Structure 1
């Protein structure tokens, strides 16, 4: 379980992160990341999870959410203060092994935190 200060709860926070943040998809996960402008008011990094009905029934969705929470909890400490992370599970997340989900999450987090290329696409 994530601490209360580490959880995203409001719909507006989820929507703002998905709309305005950086996105990276790897395997069965899509990670949305946004560095908050209000870092002084929100010192702790926060995380939220989106697991739709396409992933499976309620039991399967809850298992996927628990696995993702367990994977994200230690990684939150590495994020800068005021950052917001939304992890969205794709339908394949229900059938993925734990170590593959972990690898997908690490790769996606590295991708969204990588500095942007200012020279444009090549």
Structure 2
């Protein structure tokens, strides 16, 4: 998966952090894409409390996400998120 992060500098903010998911047809058929989306949404919901509320995060699933184990998806999202947030904070400075 590929994780992108952006620091939201607007003064008007509703909740946060916010996640967006991109699961293209390359991942699989409709049933597979929805299953991957549900799995990623579940993982993201567990990470919300650990993140700052000013973050906007986009997670793009690769075709390998369809057959990946849950632990692998969690590891990939955590490492991708850490890298993306660090880059977003650095770019903001």
TM, length-normalised to structure 2: 0.86
Greater percentage in helix: 2
Q: How does 1:58-77 map to 2 (within 5 A)?
A: 58-77=30-49
Where 1:96 maps in the other structure, the secondary structure is: coil
In structure 1, the residue matched to 2:12 is 41
TM, length-normalised to structure 1: 0.67
Structure 2 unaligned residues grouped into runs of 5+: none
> 1:58: Cα distance to partner?
0.2
Distance in 2 separating the partners of 1:113 and 1:84: 9
How well do the aligned residues superpose, as a CA RMSD in angstroms? Answer: 1.6
Pick 1 or 2: higher relative contact order, CA cutoff 8 A, min separation 6: 2
Structure 1 unaligned residues grouped into runs of 5+: 1-28, 117-122
